[in-house]
Amino acid sequence: MNTKKTNKDPKNPQNKAQDVTALVDNFLAEAMNAGASDIHFEPTENEMVVKYRLDGVLKTVEKMPKLLSENIIARLKVLGNLLTYRTDIPQEGRIETAGHNNQGVLDERLAVFPTIHGQRAVVRIFYQRKNLTELEQLGFSESIYKTLKSIAFKNQGLLLLTGPAGSGKSTTLAAILRNILKNFPGKSIVTLEDPVEIRIEGVTQVQITPFGEMTFPTALRSLLRQDPQVLMIGEIRDAETAKIAVEAALTGHFLMSTMHSGTPAAGFLRLLEMGIEPYQVTSSVAAILNQRLVRKLCDKCRKQNEKTGFFEAVGCSNCLDAGYKGRALIAEIVELDGELRKAIAQKTDLEELQALLKRTGHTNMLTDGKRLVSQGITTVDELNKVCGILESE
């Protein structure tokens, strides 16, 4: 990774506290201008390394002398209203976004963590999204698109999305909600989000207050008394939320939410681990959609390999030498059918569930992604990396 030199004068050991203030402000502004989703401040043995996450990939932007590191973290903690004198515990907070509104920044979350080399910090940046995408424009394969469309017509049940942070789940959820609104203009739709990233006309959106009293379970319980027909819950993080969500899905509500699990099969088992009874899982869950974003080859510099016929990343000024620009969606979806229901009812394990899906012809995410490789949109390397595969199969 190349290290960019800036005019922040980081090599000057005489930097004073006020310079650190400007330095930190500079990093925040620069990262937001670049559209970074996260800023990492990572102390190593001799340095303080600053990285931005751009298009999902961490890029080192600055390496600073170690002696600045505690001052930088202290400044971040002031911005995030954290206890500056506590350097031995993890702390989380929010940075006031008032000053950065022109970049369309919605929220900034700060997390500080003590390590053997000093405290490290991550600032996660949430942007207000303006370019709303229709469900048919997201780039799902024809069959996944059709499945999602038919699920969006349901009056009852649970649709779960899995995938790590930054895999485009919020965009998909917003597109499905807008699809529901388009087909059923009168439906009462409520969302619970942390934070509200995409504003949707005609939907009641509620923001969870981080570290406050309005948590997912408490808000969800009260909201169900507001007679919603469709509910979108930002994330199912705990057993309590999972339980209320499943009960709501069994009593005449259509729910959508996200969950952390690597695959759809793992998603089903995660619900069981959270204490949901197998019969509740099999009668409430309509489907689990798993998605990731792969980087798209820069169309100004991509090059076709004569031997394989596939395109490869090169790098040019258009893509800042990354070889990639923008991202595209890959996905897999598992609907609950008879055989799968039987397996879940018997509390089968992950290995057996995966085997069952393979046997019944499930198209996994890697296979879905190969359509993008064959179209020259992304590379085999990128696809394998995103799917967590070390060597090409």
The residues of the shown chain that bind Zn ion, judged by CB under 5 A, are: 298, 300-301, 316, 318-319
Shortest distance (Å) from residue 324 CB to Zn ion = 8
Task: Say which DSSP state 298 is in.
Answer: P
- The backbone torsions φ and ψ at residue 38, rounded to the nearest 5 degrees and listed phi first, read -145, 150
Cis peptide before 195 (omega within 30 of 0): yes
Q: Which is nearer to Zn ion, 214 or 316 (CB)?
A: 316
Shortest distance (Å) from residue 372 CB to Zn ion = 17
CA distances in angstroms from 345 to 198, 250, 269, 353, 378, listed in the order given: 37, 16, 11, 12, 39
Shortest distance (Å) from residue 384 CB to Zn ion = 21
**Please, which residues have CB within 8 angstroms of residue 335's CB and are 6 or more apart in sequence?**
147, 151, 286, 287
Shortest distance (Å) from residue 385 CB to Zn ion = 18
Q: Which is nearer to Zn ion, 242 or 298 (CB)?
A: 298
Spatial separation of the C-alpha atoms in residues 242 and 217, rounded to whole Å:
9
What b/e sequence results for 27-47 when a residue is b if at least 16 CB atoms lie within 10 Å of its CB, and e otherwise? bbebbbeeebbbbbbbbeeeb
Helix (H, G, I), strand (E, B) or coil at 229: coil
Q: Which is nearer to Zn ion, 316 or 345 (CB)?
A: 316
Q: Which is nearer to Zn ion, 301 or 328 (CB)?
A: 301
Helix (H, G, I), strand (E, B) or coil at 16: coil
Q: Which is nearer to Zn ion, 204 or 318 (CB)?
A: 318
Q: Which is nearer to Zn ion, 276 or 319 (CB)?
A: 319
What is the enclosing helix (H) or strand (E) of 351?
Answer: helix 350-359
The CA-based diameter of the chain, rounded to the nearest angstrom, is 69
Shortest distance (Å) from residue 323 CB to Zn ion = 6
Shortest distance (Å) from residue 302 CB to Zn ion = 7
Shortest distance (Å) from residue 4 CB to Zn ion = 17
Q: Which is nearer to Zn ion, 19 or 312 (CB)?
A: 312
Q: Which is nearer to Zn ion, 146 or 303 (CB)?
A: 303
Q: Which is nearer to Zn ion, 174 or 298 (CB)?
A: 298
Q: Which is nearer to Zn ion, 300 or 342 (CB)?
A: 300
Report the candidate in 264, 285, 246 with the shortest Cα–Cα distance to residue 360: 264
> 158 pairs with which residues across the strands?
255, 285
Shortest distance (Å) from residue 127 CB to Zn ion = 24
Query: What pairing do the DSSP bridges indicate for beta strands 47-54 and 57-65?
Result: antiparallel
CA distances in angstroms from 114 to 89, 91, 100, 158, 390, listed in the order given: 6, 9, 28, 39, 31
- Using CB positions, name the residue nearest to Zn ion: 298
Q: Which two tokens stand for residue 368?
A: 């879905």
Spatial separation of the C-alpha atoms in residues 81 and 89, rounded to whole Å:
15
Residue 82's Cβ-count burial label (10 Å; 0-12, 13-18, 19+) is: buried
Shortest distance (Å) from residue 379 CB to Zn ion = 13
Report the candidate in 17, 51, 16 with the shortest Cα–Cα distance to residue 36: 51
Shortest distance (Å) from residue 312 CB to Zn ion = 12
